Amino acid sequence: MMKLYWAPRTRSFSALWMMEEAGQPYERVLVDMSANAQKSPGYLAINPMGKVPALKDGDAAMAEAAAICAYVAERYPQTKLAPPLGDPRRTKYLYWLFFAPTCIEPAIMQIYTKMQVPSMMAGWGEATQVFDVLDAAVAKGPWILGEEFSAADVVICSGLNFAIKVFKMVPTRPSFDRYIAACAARPAFQRASEIAAG
């Protein structure tokens, strides 16, 4: 059985939501970050970066929320949370799956810290452009790939939800409100929210 190492109000929410979407048995291991449990030798053996989330599946261990979501989607193909190999939709799926950690998170930090970075030097370009691109994509709806919900939605919506609803760091837009509401209406999102709330 998979073990998910997590903590509330962190990037773990993506992985927690993903496990609930997959609907497969898993064990939750709460990492007490107030006690620096993420820096213990035992946890560092699972994730040397000392962050949450992390996942163990038998002898395999991994970290990073988007990677965990990709792994779970592929580990349980019957859930149809990822387009299969060879499906042309897979290119956009992979693009959006990694858009959150490589573009959304840095753009949020740019806004939060008011950091001035020339767009030519920033791997994410510029914060406004990131949210303009995302706005255009989710406006088509209902999901990031169109008609089918995927692990990419878990990762994208988790980032948006935290940036807009939880931490109020990014101004909302009508397309974001609709998209977050659609994701929040999913039973798996609601279960993950209840778990995270304790």
pLDDT, mean of residues 112-138? 78
Q: Which fold has domain 89-189?
A: Glutathione S-transferase Yfyf (Class Pi); Chain A, domain 2 (1.20.1050)
Please provide the average confidence, as pLDDT, over all residues in the chain: 92
A 10 A CB-CB count for 169 gives 13
pLDDT value at position 141?
A: 87
Q: Do domains 2-80 and 89-189 have the same CATH topology?
A: no
pTM of the model: 0.92
CB-facing half-sphere around the CA of 55: CA atoms within 13 A: 24
pLDDT in tens, 154-191: 999 999 998 898 888 888 999 999 999 999 999 999 99
pLDDT in tens, 22-71: 999 999 999 998 888 898 998 999 999 999 999 999 999 999 999 999 99
pLDDT in tens, 75-97: 999 999 999 999 999 999 999 99
Please provide the DSSP assignment of 19-65 as one string.
HHHHT--EEEEE--GGGTGGGSHHHHHH-TT--S-EEEETTEEEE-H
Task: Provide the 3-class DSSP secondary structure of residue 3.
Answer: strand
pLDDT value at position 97?
A: 95
Task: Note the CATH number of domain 2-80.
Answer: 3.40.30.10
pLDDT value at position 95?
A: 96
The owner of tokens 């304790």 is 198
Paired strand residues for 143: 146
Q: Name the residue ranges covered by the structural domains of the chain.
A: 2-80, 89-189
pLDDT value at position 198?
A: 79
Q: Is the pLDDT of residue 122 over 60?
A: no
Q: Is the pLDDT of residue 121 over 80?
A: no
